[in-house]
Amino acid sequence: MRAQKLAPAVMLTIAAVLAGCGQNTITGDEAKAESTAVSPASVDESLLDAGDYVTSARGTFGTVGDEFLGRSVEGQRLAEYVVLPTEIDDELTVGAAMSTYVIKDGNSLGTLLTGSVPEIAQQHNMLTGFSTSRSTEDDSKSTVHAVLRFPDATVAQSAAQQMNHNLLTEDPFGLGLPKSNSISGLPGTLISSTEDDVAFSANAFTAFQDYVLYTWIKVNPVHKQWAADFLLDLTEAQKTLVAQFPATPAGEFANIQMDVDEVLRYAVPRTEGLQTSEQAIYGPRGWSHFAANPDGSLQRYQETGTTRIAVDATTVYLSDTPEGSKKLFQRFSATFADHGLEPASAPPGLDGEVMCWWKPRGFALTYCLIQDGQFLAAAQDADETTAHQLATAQYLIFTNAK
């Protein structure tokens, strides 16, 4: 397994930039943001341009209605019970693109594991999973961590054994076979590892209840003890967290309620390029896996009472109270300067209703925030007109729902 670092274009998403840092007090920038947020609005309806985007909330989603699609929704739910690598070591700050995602079935494991492992997972009827990845700034430590769900504990145990055996006996790239390894304190964890003068890497499989906990670690050889300590702490923390997951019974994924708190219906729908991590509803921890600063992101959501994040063409955050939503707006606004963003014009006709920023250097992006009651929505695009149209559509969805 090799984690792919996020390219700048990917890192500068609303998920990453809005994460910011978890501050406990309101800074001067946040106070300024608060005063800006409540400035008098001036809406000129004749100037509103939402392009071809939907401007009314969708109807209630109801149940998923499809067993295979339900696997993706279950994987999104599972993300809330997957440990953030930064919770174990706060130096693991650099996100990875390809290896942070919902794993909808065994075949989808090909992004993480090569050889016959995806086939083995499919043969064991892997139900769903979620993977997260981080590395240090100097790339001296990297990890990918995934929770994979199987029909029952017996199947999970068999899958873990066969996947580990495959890594020990199959060499698809001719790089040499790894050695079997072990760590004191994790007697039930199956480990294979390789080492040379440049790097030590390990793959670990731990069967726990109906799950296989998979972790890949790659470090400079001087950090081998760190790797062992990290794997031990991560595995124990993951067992505790995933044991709390209210899993949907196998065979009932089609009956999962798609939008329990009715947040996704207020997001602007995406018209193309839908992925398993999109058109989704995440909890605070689940969405923090995609953030530039996961710990700060999770702290921010907890402090503002933000309980649901719906991801579509726009991202909509639900807080327990309007005050919490306003506070979230203030926290988001205060982080933009740290990322090189500057205030920008609002969409035509929406001065005071929509606040926008843009990044003038590097990969140019325009970001807009729309706060309404318990909701805060974010719209972004590299093209300013498109970002403005998304923000206008989002404003109209909120307005037309009243």
- How does pLDDT run along the chain (402 residues), one tens digit per residue? 544 433 333 333 544 555 444 333 333 344 334 433 434 456 888 999 999 999 999 999 999 999 999 999 999 999 999 999 999 999 999 998 789 999 999 999 999 998 899 999 999 999 999 999 999 999 999 999 999 999 999 999 999 999 999 999 998 878 889 999 999 999 999 999 999 999 999 999 999 999 999 999 999 999 999 999 999 999 999 999 999 999 999 999 999 999 999 999 999 998 776 565 558 999 999 999 999 889 999 999 999 999 999 999 999 999 999 999 999 999 999 888 777 789 999 999 999 999 999 987 777 899 999 999 999 999 999 999 999 999 999 999 999 998
pLDDT score recorded for residue 349: 96
Say how far apart CA 263 and CA 14 lie, in whole Å: 17
| Residue written as token pair 């058109």 | 279
Which pLDDT score is estimated for 277?
Answer: 55
**Extents of the domains making up the chain:** 8-62+257-400, 82-242
Residue 28 pLDDT:
35
Q: Which of 2, 15, 94, 60 is nearest to 263 (CA)?
A: 60
Rounded to whole angstroms, how far apart are CA atoms 222 and 200?
9
DSSP 184: T
Q: Of 131, 154, 145, 143, nearest to 78 (Cα)?
A: 131
Q: Give Cα 24 to chain centroid, integer Å.
A: 23
Q: What is the pTM of this model?
A: 0.88
**Which pLDDT does position 30 carry in this prediction?**
41
Q: Which helix (H) or strand (E) holds 217?
A: strand 211-219
Q: Indicate the class that CATH gives domain 82-242.
A: alpha beta
Pick from 398, 349, 347, 348: nearest CA to 368: 347
Starting at the earlier edge strand, list the strands of the sheet with 375-381: 280-282, 306-311, 315-319, 375-381, 365-372, 355-359, 342-344
Nearest to 149 by CA among 125, 131, 126, 130: 126
Sequence-ordered alpha helix ranges (H) in 268-362: 284-288, 294-303, 322-335
Residue 322 burial (CB count, 10 A): 14
Q: By the 8 A CB rule, do 173 and 2 touch?
A: no
- Contact by Cβ (8 Å): 156, 239: no
